[in-house]
Amino acid sequence: MSVEDSPRTVLVCMPWHELTRPSLALGLLKASCVAHGMAEPPAYFANIRWAEVLFDAGLAVGDYLRVSDGGFAHALGEWVFAGALNGQDFGIEQMADYARRHRIDLDPISRMRELADDFVSSVTDTVLAMDPEIVGFTSTFSQNVPSLAVAKRIKQRAPGTRILFGGYNCDGIMGVTLHREFEFVDLVLRGESDETFPELLGALRSEHGDLGSIAGLCWRDADGGQQVNDHRGTLVGPAGMHVPLFDDWFQTYDNSVVSEFTEPELVLESSRGCWWGEKHHCTFCGLNGSTMTYRAKEPSRFVTELDHLVRKHRTLDVTVVDNILDVSYPRTALPEIAAMDIDLRLHYEIKANITAEQAATLRAAKVWSVQPGIESLVDDVLRRMDKGIGGVRNVRALRDLETEGITVGWNWLYGFPGEREDDYRRIIEQIPALVHLQPPGGTGRIFLERFSPNFDDPAIGFTERAPAERYHAVYDLDQQVLADLVYEFDTPDQGITEEQVAPLDAAIAVWQARYSESSLLRSEIDGVLIIRDRRFGWAGNDYVFTDPKERETWAELEHGRTIPALHRNLASAGFDWDEVELEEWLAVQLANGLVFTEGARWLGLATTPGGIERSIVRPEQPEPVLVRIEPPK
């Protein structure tokens, strides 16, 4: 198809997409069209325009960010536009009651809702002025109701305009239900649309186009009956993952008042799917849906794309949206990025089983923040998650990432069937020793998410479920329909109670408040090991270890060892240490908060900024109190 033959298509990104990042979905669709010889479809970034409307009304850009970042948990962003979709009075009483019970301040949200109907009309005017034949909406998380509201208005104003939906909110049965229940939505593309989107445009332009051949498409036949194509076959290989086109987003952002209060970020992908999830799908995780299969770009190709886009858009903050870092990248792509003469700030999601060497590689490659999927430090709970990792290994990741100065984002999850209060108590007692490592953002009971093993397999324990209550305030649909449309479900609490989690919350609150003033540093000077303790709540000692056997033990504890493994490895190194004496020595270190233990493994907690071979000196610290630890007799 020639550029001239391409259908006039406008892509729309509604609230509540992040303000500081371009839509990767739209950037990829644009690039895919160009790769297929079609015109690059223009996009309208209504999310940025909405932030401007809020600003003009006396609200702040921060009000938008609070809803976009945290509003999904209570459907606040979608409720703002529910009146524009269903009628102005719809959902007001339901949300007011819901907000009272969940202690939510609805005042700024209600002010936004008062502006929503006029905004929907304004977006409709702007999009129709672009004279589209097709209007495509990308919908993920809280974009569904805002997108539906505009789509409905466009269809009322211009019935001949085809309305297309795609994105994560359309995966699986959700897309089928959206298409069936909202008749003004003509087409829904489920799954990855890199190839199917240009195929669809070609079919719509041709008088003999075969909609039935496009994988994942929901469409209506000549009699108005719904047709649902098999979505299998929509996965694209690495070669089909094009370099996204972001030019129009950066132009929109730079011309917006939003740019006066925020900094832009690039958003890229080096892989899709999850290599861990292919083997062991974390029980609580609903991400990926039908796209779990892992595929990664050739490392040098990704580095070239990164370099190209950073230089083109002159933006150094880059979020790589992969679910998980490819296992080969620490020895391939990351060293190449480290060699780039650009002061990047990268974010990556990783698995917490990284080594200290890999953490150093991340830092050298300008990775400033990671999300390692830690979720808990309790072995039993991690097994119930099917994380394939233990609490000691998670703490080891926190220690090594702290050593490298990499910001760690994580939350402590609970609410798993069968978890035990006693297992938490053992870990809570050790949290004060972790105060120098980066704390979780908070605790949270897991949601029951569609596509997760918890959802797909009721035998795990979540036998009762219903569409989350908040959806009734945003969709004028009955319970049975909502069950096929929405992503999260209400279910009776499992695992520990809110009363039982209170000590964990209290311990984490202290951890969060005192982390910045705490340090536990390990260094060696002339064969002497020193662990300098300046943690909140501890005595402020310097522990000095002169015995070679102890120094070798600390070297082993860097990895996290069982007592039998410690005993065996020390003996192999020529150090005979009776197991009972070793246990007594470890008990002393545990009492001093220098080690962490869980699941019979023991781990040294001191960080080593600058490397073990160098002494770490902080002039602002008081003179050390030397505590010489005598080895057991």
Tell me the per-residue pLDDT of 483-530, one tens digit each, with 9 for 90 and over.
Answer: 999 999 999 999 999 999 999 999 999 999 999 999 999 999 998 999
Rounded distance, CA 430 to CA 432, Å?
A: 6
With 0-12 / 13-18 / 19 or more C-beta atoms within 10 angstroms meaning exposed / middle / buried, residue 266 is buried
Q: Are 595 and 513 in contact (CB under 8 A)?
A: no
Cβ–Cβ contacts within 10 Å for residue 609, how many? 15
> Can you give the pLDDT at residue 253?
98
CB 504 within 8 A of CB 424: yes
Fold of 265-515: pyruvate-formate lyase- activating enzyme (3.80.30)
Q: Whose CA is closest to 178, among 212, 148, 155?
A: 148
Kindly tell me the number of DSSP H helices and DSSP E strands found in the chain: 23, 26
Is the pLDDT at 630 greater than 50, yes or no?
A: no
Q: In 41-143, which ranges are continuous DSSP H helix?
A: 46-56, 61-70, 76-86, 92-102, 107-128
Residue 134's nearest CA partner among 119, 156, 155 is 155
Name the percent of the chain lying above pLDDT 70.
95
**Interval 116-150: pLDDT, tens:** 999 999 999 999 999 999 999 999 999 999 999 99
**pLDDT (tens digit per residue) in 263-306:** 999 999 999 999 999 999 999 999 888 889 999 999 999 999 99
Q: What is the pLDDT of residues 177-223, one digit of tens each?
A: 999 999 999 999 999 999 999 999 999 988 778 999 999 999 999 99
Is 88's pLDDT higher than 80? yes
CA distance 527 to 545: 9
Q: Is the pLDDT of residue 625 over 50?
A: no
Cα–Cα distances in Å, from 106 out to 57, 144, 241? 16, 20, 41
CA distance 398 to 403: 9
Structural domain spans, the chain = 3-238, 265-515, 518-628
HEC letters along 176-240: HHHHHHCCCCCEEECCCCCCHHHHHHHHHHCCCCCHHHCCCEEEECCCCCEEECCCCCCCCCHHH
**Least-confidence region, from 315-324, 581-590, 618-627:** 618-627
DSSP per position, 9-42: EEEEE-TTS-SSS--HHHHHHHHHHHHTTPPPPP
pLDDT digits 0-9 by tens, 405-461:
999 999 999 999 999 999 999 999 999 999 999 999 999 999 999 999 999 999 999
pLDDT confidence bin for 367, thresholds 50/70/90: very high
The predicted structure's pLDDT at residue 20: 96
Residue 619 reports pLDDT greater than 50: no
Q: What is the distance between the alpha carbons of residues 258 and 414, in angstroms, rounded to a whole number? A: 37
Beta bridge partners of 163: 135
